[in-house]
């Protein structure tokens, strides 16, 4: 079992903006062996709260429970310091640690396994150009 430290504070900088920004640092300690021990989301990190493709978003819940895990998952996808599968596994654990049921955590996990390849490879492509 993992643990979050501190509150999740998000802000939108302008009306109509789809992405959020963290308004403070968020740290998540993963409680599963073989995965990163600590994930740090810095202040001002941009997130859409889910790396789930638009068409699959209606399948998953969008609420405070999923927001915490979505920010962690977006950070892992953005950094690319672990495999996509490991990032998706962390999402599942983070959802459970946020209070989501096993059923909804599994639905969310399967949605990113099916459709998360596109945001993952877009990030890899973008970082390769930097």
Tell me the pLDDT tens digit for each residue of 36-57: 579 999 999 998 876 555 655 5
Q: Which two tokens stand for residue 60?
A: 């998953």
List pLDDT tens digits, range 73-129: 999 988 888 899 999 999 999 999 989 999 989 988 998 898 888 888 887 777 666
| Separation in Å, CA 20 to CA 16, 43, 108 | 11, 12, 20
Q: Would you say 32 and 89 are in contact if contact means Cβ atoms under 8 Å apart? A: yes
Going by the DSSP 8-state scheme, the letter that residue 26 receives in this structure is: E
pTM over 0.95: no
Query: Three-state SS for 63?
Result: coil
């Amino acid at each position: 079992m993992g643990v979050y430290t501190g509150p999740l504070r998000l802000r939108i900088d302008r009306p109509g903006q789809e992405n959020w920004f963290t308004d403070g640092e968020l740290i998540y300690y993963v409680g599963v062996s073989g995965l990163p021990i600590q994930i740090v989301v810095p202040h001002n990190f941009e997130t859409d709260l889910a790396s789930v493709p638009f068409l699959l978003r209606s399948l998953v819940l969008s609420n405070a429970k999923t927001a915490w895990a979505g920010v962690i998952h977006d950070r892992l996808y953005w950094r690319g310091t672990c495999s996509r599968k490991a990032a998706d596994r962390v999402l599942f654990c983070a959802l459970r640690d946020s209070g989501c049921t096993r059923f909804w955590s599994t639905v969310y996990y399967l949605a990113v396994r099916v459709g998360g390849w596109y945001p993952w490879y877009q990030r890899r492509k973008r970082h390769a150009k930097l």
